[in-house]
């Protein structure tokens, strides 16, 4: 079984390399690079004002970078934008307010340091508030016959010390995420998965989140997110493939979330094997 697992993971990494080189992935990566990474504070502001927000940009950015137009009547999402400027190394004033007699010793403006002056409110809009050219989308879903597998996984959760809920789309509050795993210092990890017609994708999302719950519940000793996603998706790939699902799109998932870190999957092979074995054992015992 270990040899088969090694072969399957080698297949996955080969597929990841092909995914990285595909035009579909390059187009997707190019578009993602044009979106700004917002601070934790601004991310919270966005979530409070528009919980379903997935991709956010300014009015002109939507027009100029993405060929999309904010729809008439849409309300802006307000965030804080930093205002910065170069300031004198001695007196700390900007060029407009600088006194040449401050004693800076002739330090050139190009050598001044950039400093944060203040924040100002600026409006941004979610993609759902715009119309126009479609953005490239990566296909990361799995496929196959898996209705019984969803039931078995939900039944097996308790034996793995996990709790699980399938959530109707109208009650889903986690944006475009297909599943989440929430940790508690007192109770067991709780998994929520958004219901959808694709049973195979629901099943592999459950397996992916099960892996997070089993591998990453110790919040005091977590690997960085890329490594966590590599571990969880590798487990989903192995279990999904073992039960006969089409897991080929796992390659795009790892290419998107983990990048080059997917190449180090064999460094964590024992962890991945062990958790995949635990999930398979729990399914069989159900």
DSSP state letters, the chain: -HHHHHHHHHHHHHHHHHHHHSHHHHHHHHHHHTS----HHHHHHHHHH-TT--SEE-HHHHHHHH-EEEPTTPPPEEEEEEEEEEE-TTT--BGGG--TTS--TT--GGGSEEEEEEEEEEEEEEGGGEEESPPP------BS--HHHHHHHHHHTGGGT-EEEEE-GGG--STT-SEEEE--SSS--EEEEE--S-HHHHHHHHHHHHHHHHHS--TTSPPPHHHHHHHHHHHHHHHHHHTT-B-TTHHHHHHHHTGGGGGGGGGGHHHHHHHHHHHHHHHHH-
**How large is the angle between the packed helices 269-285 and 225-242, nearest 10 degrees?**
40
**228 CB contacts (<8 Å, ≥6 apart)?**
212, 215, 216, 222
Report the half-sphere exposure of 264 (CA within 13 A, side-chain side): 12
Give the pLDDT score at 1: 66
Scan for tokens 């270990």, then name that residue: 2
Our CA angle for 162, 225, 253, nearest 5°, is: 85
Residues in the chain: 286
Give the pLDDT score at 143: 96
pLDDT tens for the chain, residues 1 to 286 = 677 888 999 999 999 999 999 999 999 888 888 888 888 888 889 988 988 788 899 999 999 999 999 999 999 999 999 999 888 877 878 888 887 777 666 677 777 888 888 899 999 999 999 999 999 888 999 999 997 999 999 999 999 999 999 999 999 888 788 999 999 877 899 999 999 999 999 999 999 999 999 999 876 666 788 889 999 999 999 999 999 999 999 999 999 888 777 888 888 889 999 999 999 999 987 6
Q: Are 174 and 180 in contact (CB under 8 A)?
A: yes
Q: Are 94 and 86 in contact (CB under 8 A)?
A: yes
Beginning with the edge strand found earlier in the chain, give each strand of the sheet holding 77-87 in spatial order: 56-57, 113-126, 77-87
Q: Give the whole-angstrom CA distance, residue 158 versus residue 160.
A: 5
pTM equals 0.77
Torsion of CA 214, 217, 218, 223, to 10 degrees: 80
Give the pLDDT score at 260: 74
Give the pLDDT score at 219: 67
Give the pLDDT score at 60: 95
Give the pLDDT score at 276: 94
Question: Among 92, 135, 140, 82, which residue's Cα sits nearest to residue 113?
Answer: 92
């Amino acid at each position: 079984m270990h040899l088969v697992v090694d072969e399957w993971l080698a297949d996955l990494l080969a597929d990841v390399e092909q995914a990285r080189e595909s035009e579909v992935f390059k187009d997707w990566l190019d578009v993602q690079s044009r979106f700004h990474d917002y601070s934790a504070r601004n991310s919270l502001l966005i979530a409070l004002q528009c919980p379903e927000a997935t991709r956010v940009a300014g009015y002109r950015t939507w027009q100029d970078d993405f060929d999309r137009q904010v729809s008439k009547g849409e309300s802006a999402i307000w965030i804080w934008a930093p205002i910065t400027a170069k300031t004198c190394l001695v007196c700390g004033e900007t060029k407009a307010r600088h006194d040449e007699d401050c004693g800076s010793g002739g330090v050139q403006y190009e050598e001044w340091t950039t400093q944060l002056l203040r924040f100002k409110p600026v409006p941004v809009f979610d993609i759902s508030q715009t119309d126009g050219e479609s953005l490239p989308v990566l296909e990361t879903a799995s496929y196959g016959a898996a209705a019984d597998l969803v039931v078995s996984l939900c039944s097996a959760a308790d034996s793995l010390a996990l709790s699980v809920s399938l959530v109707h789309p109208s009650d889903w509050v986690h944006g475009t995420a297909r599943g989440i795993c929430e940790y508690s210092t007192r109770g067991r990890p709780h998994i929520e998965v958004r219901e959808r017609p694709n049973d195979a994708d629901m099943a592999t999302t459950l397996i992916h989140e099960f892996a997070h719950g089993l591998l990453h519940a110790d919040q005091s000793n977590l690997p960085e997110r890329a490594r966590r996603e590599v571990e969880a998706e590798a487990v989903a790939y192995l279990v999904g493939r073992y039960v006969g699902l089409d897991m080929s799109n796992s390659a795009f998932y790892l290419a998107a979330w983990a990048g080059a870190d997917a190449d180090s999957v064999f460094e964590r092979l024992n962890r991945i094997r062990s958790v995949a074995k635990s999930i398979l054992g729990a399914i069989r015992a159900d």
